[in-house]
Amino acid sequence: MKPMETLNREIAGLFAAKEARRRKLAKLPFPEKVRAVVRLQRMVAPVLRARGRQVRVWTIEESAPPGE
Amino acid sequence: MEKTLQVLNDLVRAGVVSRYAIGGAMGAMFYIEPVLTFDLDVFVVLPQTHGGLLTLEPLYEALRARGYREEDECVNIEGVPVQVLPAYNALLEEALAEAREMRYEATPTRVLRPEHLLAIALQTGRDKDRERVRLLREQARLDQKYLKGVLSRHRLDDK
Q: What is the mean pLDDT of chain B?
A: 93
pLDDT digits (tens, 9 = 90+) for B34-75: 999 999 999 998 877 666 667 888 899 999 999 999 988 899
pLDDT digits (tens, 9 = 90+) for B2-21: 999 999 999 999 999 999 99
pTM of the predicted model over 0.90: no
Nearest to B29 among A23, A30, A59 (CB): A30
Across B77-97, b (16+ Cβ under 10 Å) vs e yields bbebbbbbebbeeebbebbbe
What is the value of ipTM here, to two decimals? 0.74
Q: What is the pLDDT of residue A53?
A: 87
Q: In this complex, is the C-beta atom of A30 within 8 Å of any C-beta atom belonging to chain B? A: yes
For residue B156, pLDDT beyond 90: yes
Q: In this complex, is the C-beta atom of B31 within 8 Å of any C-beta atom belonging to chain A? A: yes
Phi-psi label, residue B79: left if phi above 0, alpha if psi -120 to 50, beta otherwise: left
In B, which residues are within 8 Å of A18 by CB distance?
none
Q: What is the pLDDT of residue A2?
A: 72
Residue in B closest to A26 by C-alpha: B33
